[in-house]
Amino acid sequence: MPNYAAPGEVMYHTGLTKEMTDGAKYALVPGDPGRVEGLAKALDEKAVYVCSHRDFTTWKAKVSGETVLVMSTGMGGPCVTFAVEELARLGVATFIRVGTTGSIQEDLNLGDVVINKGAVREDGASKAYAPVNYPAMADMRVTLALEQAAKELRVPFKTGISISTDSFWPGQERYDSFKGYVVRRLKGSLNEYRALGCTNFEMENATLFTLTSVLGLKAGSICGVVAKRTDSESVAPHEVYELAEKRFQAVVKRAMEMLIGRFMVSL
């Protein structure tokens, strides 16, 4: 049976209680605490600050009459497990990761958004929840809502499979680290994943998708492209971040309206 939080019980990592969440069933989970306020206010100009504890800064907004939490997870899979486990105990059932990413395909440009339907499990945290041959998959209806929202808003996007890593440098076959060393098993991995049709590198999807599937929850992911690895190893300038952020904020708001309105699609 699910282990829901008792009245007044404070979650150890996030600092939240059930009473603080207003019965929220939905949560947007960016990695960066600095992204939370802007995202919450893009959903609802009257969004309010809830609390901040460790990596986890929380705001809450109203979308179509429903409370939606916006809470940072910090970077990487382990922090995602803290967020999902504790929010699930507080009643959250649907999670959408909202963040930034680096593309590895020619047709995925700076400022575009990526909607990931699955992830390659190059992380470590998901292995604590399921064996390595268990798939990391997003929820179909959450993914379809994100796609439909992007189409309606005419935001350039691509749906694909991300590679989730625990390391920004050797894990993503980057050579611009302090030592510039990449272990033998990861050399050539970028080109291999590109040939397999994977779309982007990031650090949270595999853990989020695996954990929510195992726990009987739902998850999706939308990220703005701020690095295009086919052109350069450099991260894009600030104006690209602003464009990507504006786009994923608009898309996720419309997708939330669809999901809360019991979005249906013919399959």
Tokens representing residue 153 in the block: 């808003």
Number of Cβ within 10 Å of residue 217's Cβ equals 17
The active-site residue out of 89, 121, 229, 247 is 229
The active-site residue out of 35, 86, 121, 204 is 86
Rounded Cα–Cα distance for residues 265 and 7 (Å):
37
Using the Cα atoms of residue 258, residue 247, residue 159 and residue 214 in order, give the sign of their dihedral.
negative
89 in active site: no
The active-site residue out of 13, 53, 54, 194 is 13
Rounded Cα–Cα distance for residues 26 and 113 (Å):
21
Burial zone of 132 (CB within 10 Å; 0-12 exposed, 13-18 middle, 19+ buried): exposed
Rounded Cα–Cα distance for residues 99 and 248 (Å):
8
202 in active site: no
The active-site residue out of 89, 97, 121, 174 is 174
Rounded Cα–Cα distance for residues 7 and 26 (Å):
19
Cα angle 235, 236, 238 (rounded to 5 degrees) comes to: 120
Q: What share of the chain is helix, strand, coil (3-state, %, to 5)?
A: 35, 25, 40
Short-list 186, 25, 207, CA closest to 99: 207
238 in active site: no
Catalytic sites, residue numbers: 13, 86, 174, 229
